[in-house]
Amino acid sequence: MAELREFVDILRAAGEITRLRLLSLLAAGELSVKDLTEILDQSQPRVSRHLRLLTESGLVSRHAEGAWAFFRLSDEANAAVLVQHLLEQLDASDPVLQADVLRLEAVRRDHQMRAATYFSKVARDWDRVRSLHAPESAVEAAIVDMMKGTSVEMFIDLGTGTGRMLELLDGHFKKGVGIDSSREMISVARSKFERSGQKSVFVRLGDIAQLDEYSASADITMLHQVLHHFLDPGKALLNARQTLKPGGKIVVVDFMPHKLEFLREEQAHKRLGLSHEQMQAWAQAAHLKVTDAREIPHNKPGGGLTVCIWHLTDQS
First to last CA, the chain: 36
Comparing 3 with 242, the larger pLDDT belongs to: 242
Q: What is the pLDDT of residue 128?
A: 62
Of 87-96, 148-157, 246-255, least confident by mean pLDDT is 87-96
| pTM, to two decimals | 0.73
For 132-314, CATH gives 3.40.50.150
Is residue 112 pLDDT above 90, yes or no? no
Q: Where in the chain is the domain with CATH 3.40.50.150?
A: 132-314
Query: For residues 24 and 100, what is the distance between their CA atoms, to the nearest angstrom?
Result: 9
Nearest to 27 by CA among 106, 66, 81: 81
Q: Which residues in the chain are classed under CATH 1.10.10.10?
A: 4-105
* Confidence band for 113, pLDDT divided at 50, 70 and 90: confident
Q: What is the pLDDT of residues 153-207, one digit of tens each?
A: 999 999 998 899 999 999 999 999 999 988 888 888 888 888 888 888 999 988 8
Predicted confidence at residue 80, as pLDDT, reads 81
pLDDT the model gives residue 130 = 64
pLDDT for 210-219, tens place per residue?
Answer: 999 999 999 9
pLDDT of residue 83: 86
Q: What is the per-residue pLDDT for 77?
A: 76
The domain 4-105 is classified under which CATH number: 3.90.320.10, 3.30.230.10, 1.10.10.10, 3.40.50.300?
A: 1.10.10.10
pLDDT digits (tens, 9 = 90+) for 227-285: 998 878 998 999 999 999 999 999 999 999 888 888 777 777 888 889 999 999 899 98
